[in-house]
Amino acid sequence: METPSKPKAKKDEQMERLAVLEELEELEKDEHELFDDFMEMVVTFGYITLFGSAFALGATCIFVFILIEARSDIFRLDATCRRPIPGKTYHIGSWAVLLGGFCFFSVFSNVIISCYASSQMDNLLPGFKEAREDPATAATTVF
């Protein structure tokens, strides 16, 4: 009865060595940087909020971009980066302040783009149309 247990013990030892080798390979991989992922998402959020009225189809393009980016992040986390160390947190840190700033400035950005690109302001401000079309004063009409 000892003969069947010997191959099983040998197989368990091989499995254990394989697991150790996989963990050593994991340690050789590059460390995953969360800063880069947050930066990509914040820049994308900034583009879509600040210039959403200039290119309405931008939200759809960004959605497709995020789907592709998610797949590439999955591959990067699985194949090329070391597994991140989990940490408990209740906020996203200073990124929240930056996102709030984008929201605040996007209101003004979109209002300026909408007023400048449309002819609706021409009825309210008759001199605005002439100033906007004159090359010498066109830059001042934005503000």
Which is more confident, 96 or 19? 96
Mean residue pLDDT across the chain: 82
The whole-angstrom separation of Cα 14 and Cα 62 is 47
In a domain, 91, yes or no: yes
Domain assignment of residue 39, given as a range: 31-142
Of the ranges 27-36, 44-53, 71-80, 84-93, which is most confident? 44-53
In a domain, 12, yes or no: no
Note the helical H segments in 29-94: 34-50, 58-75
pLDDT digits (tens, 9 = 90+) for 56-115: 898 899 999 999 999 998 888 888 887 777 888 888 889 999 999 999 999 999 988 887
In a domain, 10, yes or no: no
Q: What pLDDT sits at residue 1?
A: 47
pTM of the model: 0.68
In a domain, 4, yes or no: no
Total domains in the fold of the chain: 1
- Output the furthest CA–CA distance in the chain (Å, rounded): 102
